[in-house]
Amino acid sequence: MPAALHFICGSTGAGKTTFAIRLATEIGGLRLSIDEWMAALFWMDTPQPLDPAWSQERVNRSQAQMWRVASEAAARGLPVVLDWGFGARKERARYAVLAGEAGLAVRLHFLDVPADERWRRVQCRNDAGGDTHQLPFAVTREMFDFVETLWEPPSAQEIAAFEDASVAS
C-alpha cells in the first residue's frame, strides 16, 4: 500500500531541515534533503562568484533523481519526507500532479516564519554551523534577499487543495 509523500515548504531559515528530521523520525520515513545532495555532489565545484543558473541546473537534476527514489519508496509503503523547500507554486503543483499520477498521497507542511526571524536564524546558523547547516558557505544577506524574491508562500486556497496540509510558525 502506498505511503504519503511529505512536502516540507518554507523559505530560507524557516527550520525545514530540523522539521524534516523530526518528522522522518516520528513516522519512520525516508528523508531526502536537497541541501545534503547538493553539498555532497556539487558544492565543491561551485563557480565563484556563485552562478544561480549553474546551481539551479544541479538542483533540478538532484530533484529528478530524488523524485525517482521517493516515488518508488512511497509506492512500496515507506513514508518519504522531501526537504526541498518547495518555494514556488509551480514546483509544488508539478510534484503534486506527479504524486497523484503515481497514486501517492501528498501532505504539505508549510513552515510560515516571518522573514526577520528567518534572517536572524540564518545569522545564528552562519555563526555556529550545526547539524542542519549543509551548505559549505555562509548565507549572505544578498543571497537571502535574492531567494526572498523567488519565494512564493502557498495561499490559503493552495493549502486547501492539498489532501492534507499543516501550517506551523
Q: Which pLDDT belongs to residue 129?
A: 62
Residue 160 CA: distances (Å) to CA of 37, 65, 132, 141: 30, 28, 30, 33
pLDDT by position in tens, the chain (length 169):
678 999 999 999 999 999 999 999 999 999 999 989 988 888 778 778 877 888 889 989 999 999 999 999 999 999 999 999 999 999 999 999 999 999 999 999 999 999 999 999 999 888 876 554 555 667 888 889 988 999 999 999 999 998 788 898 7
Which pLDDT belongs to residue 1? 65
- What cell does 169 get? 510558525
Cβ neighbors of 157 (< 8 A, separation 6 or more) are: none
| Per-residue confidence (pLDDT) for residue 43, from 0 to 100 | 75
* pTM greater than 0.85 (yes/no): yes
The full set of domains in the chain, from first to last, is: 5-168 (3.40.50.300)
CA dihedral (54, 60, 65, 70) in degrees, to 10, reads 140
Return the axis-axis angle of helices 115-128 and 141-150, rounded to nearest 10°: 140
Compute how many other C-beta atoms are within 10 angstroms of the C-beta atom of residue 154: 22
